[in-house]
Chains A and B, each alone.
Chain A
């Protein structure tokens, strides 16, 4: 039972909770307390020191929007943002309720009446914007993965193809998302024409920009992982006369999974960074737009609210990375490999 919990925590990236489990099960308390102070105590000390310097430092800086916000103001604003979200939700619920009531009345008067439910058109709240951002980055990252992994595998298996593609990869890899964005915007406007679009154009533009920038690490890591497979394993496949596809599925992918995931983790990190910039310019209603709108708004709360977004972006990026790490551990055959 204890081992299972510890294994779960290791896989989930909650290593800092393990000493608590061991402590609860009565394992040598002094050693576990030492571990605990190391894994929780030290980061806590660093965090408190950071908050202190932030608090003191921010008070020294006066901007045209008032004093630079310290941790206290930011904490207040995060509460406000959540309250606003709840208030907006309540308004939306009330809006739908009123419609249902009105429709019921209409139907009571005339059973053949034409009734419909109109969508609530209130402003997206901070929480809505978080979800929009997460969904956009997910779609962009998924597109990138679907393109990069197969190309990486094929070019890792063939030296000729790799030699052909490598210059292209190296040229496009360092391109900033801001350079891609205008082109993507124009292409999306020209190509994605529909009277009843399923997705907003701004969403598609942002997702494609994320894809264009997060493609490369996965592609390169997959190609390197595939080309460094043990030759003997490939030879075993040849002796067994496995087909190309079977070789890829049974030998190439399993042995390059660790490298593929390393690439995917880097890609997702880059994708998340790129997304914020893309959303600012494409006006996709996510965290990037939130930051931009607050900056344009220029109220005395704006800087605190932007700071809330900054911390949220950081925290979500961290969580996304942990999720990838956990997936990597689950898919990797070598469960004991140290992955950071």
Chain B
């Protein structure tokens, strides 16, 4: 909850309760993901990444959309230390 002070306020900003409904968030994210389904657009990925960082209710849905469509496994392997260890091992 955020509190903003002003001449005619205080106004309390709370996340709308609708956004606590997973299906609603999925619909919002779906609008961004439609573009991704037709290609790998860096800008849209950045939007999804930002959405994932917005709040906890967006996190899982946005991450699912962000990773939904891939054309390389390199980002997955970068999440681990595989590269360093595997190269050393082999």
A binds B: no
Using a CB–CB cutoff of 8 Å, the interface residues on chain A facing chain B are: none
Using a CB–CB cutoff of 8 Å, the interface residues on chain B facing chain A are: none
